[in-house]
C-alpha cells in the first residue's frame, strides 16, 4: 500500500521541528549518521507506508532517547562545549581545553567507550564536566575516568566509581538526534557525541523498472564505507533479502519480479546495515 505525498525538503525540516522540537539544525538531512530524518522527498514522489513508518519511528526515537544501555555500547567521539566564559588555569587539567575560534567557546574532544552492555563508560583526558569541574590538581595525573551508566529514558545517569570522580553523580538529559549521535546539557556545558563505528548511509533514488527479464532495480550509494548492498522484497507483509551486490554494483535484476512488487535496499559494512531506502514499486 502506498500514498502520494507532495512535499519538499523544507517541508520535512519544518515538520521535524514541530513534531519533535529538535529544530532545523539537528534535523538537517545529511545521512544516517547525523539526522533523525533519513530521507529527502521530492514533489510527486510515491511514498510507501513502510517508509513513513520508519520515518515516524525515527522521530519517536529522538523524543525517547536511548531505551537501554546496550544501545550505547561501543566507542563515541564526544566534544564538550564550555559556556561558562572561564579560561583554563595554568597547571590544571582543564588546560586541555582549547578555544574554538568559530564559536568563541572553550572545547575538548574525548573518546568515550561504553562497555559491551553499555553499563559502564570510560573517558580519556578529563573527568566529566567543564573547565570549573577540572580546575584542581587533585587528579592532575589521571588521564582516564570511569562511570557507571544507567538509562532512565530519556535521561543518561552516570555515577563516579573511582577516586578522582569522588562518587559524583550526573544526570544528562539526552537528545538523540540519530541512532549514532546524541547531545546533552551538563551544568554550564553541552556535550555532543557521535559513534565512531557506524553503518553506511541509506541508499537513495531507488527505482524498479519492469522488463522482459524481470524487474531491474537501480539506486544511489550515499557513502559511509559501504561494502555491499542487501536487496529486499516485500512478501506477505514483510521484507526479506532476495540477493546482494558488491559496493560497486548499484543495480540488481529480480527475474521473478512482476508489477506491483515492492523493493527496498540497505547499505552494509562491518558495523552493520543502514536503514532501508525508501521503497520502490515495480511498474
Q: Is the Cβ–Cβ distance between 38 and 58 less than 8 Å?
A: yes
The tens digit of pLDDT for each residue in 120-162 reads 999 999 989 999 999 887 676 788 899 999 999 899 999 987 7
Q: What is the pTM of this model?
A: 0.76
Cell 523524543 belongs to which residue? 63
CA 138 to chain centre: 36
The tens digit of pLDDT for each residue in 20-50 reads 332 222 222 234 446 677 788 888 777 888 8
**Strand spans (E) along the chain:** 2-4, 46-48, 74-82, 98-100, 105-114, 120-124, 144-152, 155-160, 169-173, 175-178, 181-186, 189-195, 204-211, 214-220, 228-235, 238-246, 251-254, 262-269, 272-273, 280-281
The CA distance from 63 to 3, in Å, is 26
- The set of residues, in sequence order, having a beta carbon less than 8 Å from that of 123 and lying 6+ positions away, is 78, 110, 111, 112, 113, 144, 145, 146, 147
Query: Per-residue confidence of the chain (283 residues) as pLDDT tens digits?
Result: 443 333 333 333 223 332 233 222 222 223 444 667 778 888 877 788 888 888 888 888 877 889 899 999 999 999 999 999 999 999 899 999 999 999 999 999 999 999 999 999 999 999 899 999 998 876 767 888 999 999 998 999 999 877 777 777 899 999 988 888 999 999 999 999 999 988 998 999 999 999 989 999 999 999 889 999 999 999 988 999 999 999 999 999 999 999 999 999 999 999 889 989 999 999 9
Structural domains present in the chain: 1-64 (no CATH), 69-195 (2.40.128.280), 199-283 (2.60.40.10)
Amino acid at each position: 500500500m502506498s500514498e502520494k505525498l507532495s512535499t519538499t525538503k523544507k517541508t520535512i525540516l519544518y515538520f521535524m521541528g514541530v513534531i519533535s522540537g529538535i529544530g532545523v539544525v539537528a534535523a538537517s538531512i545529511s545521512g544516517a549518521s547525523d539526522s533523525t530524518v533519513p530521507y529527502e522527498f521530492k514533489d510527486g514522489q510515491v511514498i510507501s507506508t513502510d517508509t513513513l513508518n520508519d520515518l515516524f519511528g525515527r522521530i519517536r526515537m529522538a523524543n525517547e532517547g536511548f531505551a537501554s544501555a546496550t544501545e550505547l555500547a561501543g566507542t563515541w567521539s564526544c566534544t564538550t562545549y564550555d559556556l561558562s566564559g572561564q579560561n583554563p588555569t595554568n597547571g590544571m587539567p582543564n588546560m586541555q581545553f582549547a578555544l574554538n575560534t568559530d564559536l568563541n567557546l572553550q572545547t575538548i574532544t574525548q573518546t568515550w567507550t561504553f562497555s559491551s552492555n553499555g553499563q559502564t563508560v570510560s573517558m580519556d583526558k578529563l573527568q566529566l564536566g567543564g573547565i570549573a569541574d577540572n580546575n584542581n590538581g587533585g587528579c592532575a595525573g589521571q588521564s582516564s575516568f570511569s562511570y557507571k551508566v544507567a538509562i532512565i529514558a530519556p535521561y543518561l545517569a552516570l555515577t563516579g566509581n573511582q577516586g578522582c570522580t569522588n562518587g559524583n553523580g550526573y544526570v544528562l538529559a539526552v537528545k538523540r538526534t540519530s541512532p549514532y549521535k546524541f547531545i546533552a546539557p551538563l551544568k554550564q556545558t553541552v556535550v555532543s557525541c557521535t559513534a565512531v563505528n557506524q553503518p553506511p548511509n541509506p541508499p537513495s533514488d531507488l527505482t524498479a523498472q519492469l522488463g522482459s527479464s524481470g524487474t531491474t532495480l537501480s539506486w544511489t550509494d550515499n557513502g559511509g564505507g559501504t561494502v555491499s548492498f542487501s536487496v529486499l522484497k516485500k512478501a506477505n507483509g514483510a521484507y526479506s533479502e532476495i540477493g546482494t551486490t558488491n559496493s560497486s554494483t548499484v543495480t540488481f535484476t529480480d527475474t521473478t519480479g512482476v508489477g506491483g512488487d515492492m523493493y527496498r535496499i540497505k547499505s552494509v559494512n562491518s558495523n552493520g546495515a543502514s536503514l532501508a531506502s525508501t521503497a520502490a514499486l515495480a511498474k
